[in-house]
């Protein structure tokens, strides 16, 4: 069968790549093309466009790149028309993907969605679109089944692929060996994980750096996103005694005493690796945007850890609360307060149980092939 994938960011590239590996096992004759990243390409997909050319976040960046966005839509439509797959498999990234779902349905192509858009956080009105345009939804959080059921939409819960991706890359090595390999000293590690998008990195990393600058007990290690060039980090860390490591995020989190994490999938990855964390998020809009979100969207938490556990298991600093002083205060509490660390550890244990067992990508692939064949 013929499969066309669309993933628009680094986490989507990772999870789609693992799904592709399992699809090739379940369907040895599979032909796969799509929009995504190098991980998907290595797994067996013919890459038509890299997600780095598609990732525009926020009103102003979108406005400034309207022509590029239009070209992306047009190329994707042309590729779908030329390839005419049996199924279009969408991975999160709803702004682009739901438009392509409409185009595919008009062509008579089945539409499957792997990793639901976070409609349970905001834009629940998109559920109506999903019901109209998506033939099958494959979800990764247990609470999504109940959420979609409220709208009369049945989904397929396959388990969380983050668990597989993280545990697969978990390393077993002494701390001193890790430090020697990466030219680090022997101080305990403090990890800064400022996200995978240019805008969030430029917004969060300067605040994180100022917050940790006075902490002399630890060495600071920044994890570089695969799609962000080195010069971006070099410009931001100028004047600070820090280390920037690429392709070592899971190792760094495994070795770190604590982490400052951008809101997103990395908060879940950090929890799976049992690293205490403070979640940070700040974009344009400040206190006004925060108040609007609270009032109109009913948002209680933004980190996946807290959303899954339905409580404030790890501290979150959002929008106007994400200040240098607040980051420093919460980080010191996570580093120095044993009771706080024990509570986070207990929450992580509970989280592991809720995520279910390993093998989510394989379950999803087998179910996709089964549904297509039937």
Can you give the residue ranges of every domain in the chain?
2-159+359-373, 167-355
Q: Which two tokens stand for residue 155?
A: 């989904």
Walk along the chain (374 residues) and give the pLDDT tens digit of each residue. Answer: 999 999 998 889 999 999 999 999 999 999 999 999 999 999 999 999 999 877 655 545 555 556 767 888 899 999 999 999 999 999 998 989 999 999 999 999 999 999 999 887 766 788 999 999 999 999 999 889 999 999 999 999 999 998 888 888 888 899 999 999 999 999 999 999 999 889 899 999 999 999 999 999 999 999 999 889 999 999 999 999 999 999 999 999 999 999 999 998 899 999 999 999 999 998 755 555 555 455 445 567 889 999 999 999 999 999 889 999 999 999 999 999 999 999 999 999 999 888 877 899 999 999 999 999 98
Residue in the structure block whose two tokens are 């890299």 = 50
Q: 2-159+359-373 with 167-355: one CATH topology? A: yes
CATH class of 167-355: alpha beta
Separation CA 107–CA 80 (nearest Å): 9
Cβ distance 225 to 195 under 8 Å?
yes
CA distances from 228 to 93, 186, 195, 200 (A): 19, 28, 10, 11
Query: 39, 15 in Cβ contact below 8 A?
Result: no
Predicted local distance difference test score (pLDDT) of residue 284: 59
* 255 vs 183: CA distance, rounded Å: 14
Q: What homologous superfamily is domain 2-159+359-373 in, according to CATH?
A: Glycogen Phosphorylase B; (3.40.50.2000)
């Amino acid at each position: 069968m013929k499969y066309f994938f669309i993933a628009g960011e680094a986490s989507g590239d990772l999870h789609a790549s693992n799904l592709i590996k399992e699809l090739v096992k379940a369907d040895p004759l599979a032909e796969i093309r799509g929009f995504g990243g190098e991980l998907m390409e290595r797994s067996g997909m013919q890459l038509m466009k890299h997600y780095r050319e598609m990732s525009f976040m926020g009103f102003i960046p979108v406005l400034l790149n309207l022509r590029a966005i239009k070209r992306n839509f047009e190329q994707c439509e042309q590729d779908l028309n030329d390839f005419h797959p049996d199924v279009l498999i969408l991975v999160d990234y709803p702004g682009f993907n739901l438009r392509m779902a409409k185009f595919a349905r008009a062509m008579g192509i089945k539409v499957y969605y792997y990793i639901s858009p976070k409609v349970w956080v905001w834009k629940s009105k998109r559920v109506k679109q999903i019901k109209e345009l998506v033939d099958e939804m494959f979800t990764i959080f247990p609470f999504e089944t109940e959420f979609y059921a409220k709208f009369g939409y049945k989904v397929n819960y396959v388990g969380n692929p983050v668990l597989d991706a993280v545990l697969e890359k978990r390393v077993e090595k002494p701390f001193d060996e890790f430090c020697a390999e990466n030219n680090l000293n022997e101080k305990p590690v403090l990890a800064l994980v400022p996200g995978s998008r240019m805008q969030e990195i430029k917004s969060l990393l300067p605040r994180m750096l100022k917050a940790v600058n006075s902490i002399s007990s630890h060495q600071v290690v920044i994890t570089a996103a695969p799609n962000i060039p080195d010069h971006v980090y070099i410009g931001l860390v100028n004047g600070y005694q820090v280390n920037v490591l690429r392709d070592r995020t899971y190792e760094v989190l495994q070795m770190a005493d604590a982490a400052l994490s951008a809101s997103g999938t990395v908060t879940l990855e950090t929890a799976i690796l049992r690293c205490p964390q403070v979640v940070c998020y700040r974009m344009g809009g400040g206190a006004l945007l925060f108040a609007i979100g609270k009032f109109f969207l009913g948002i209680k938490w933004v980190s996946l850890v807290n959303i899954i556990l339905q409580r404030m298991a790890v501290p979150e600093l959002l929008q106007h609360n994400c200040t240098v002083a607040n980051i420093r205060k919460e980080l010191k509490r996570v580093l120095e307060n044993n009771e706080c660390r024990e509570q986070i550890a207990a929450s992580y244990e509970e989280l592991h149980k809720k995520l279910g067992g390993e093998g989510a990508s394989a379950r999803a692939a087998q179910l996709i092939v089964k549904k297509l064949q039937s």
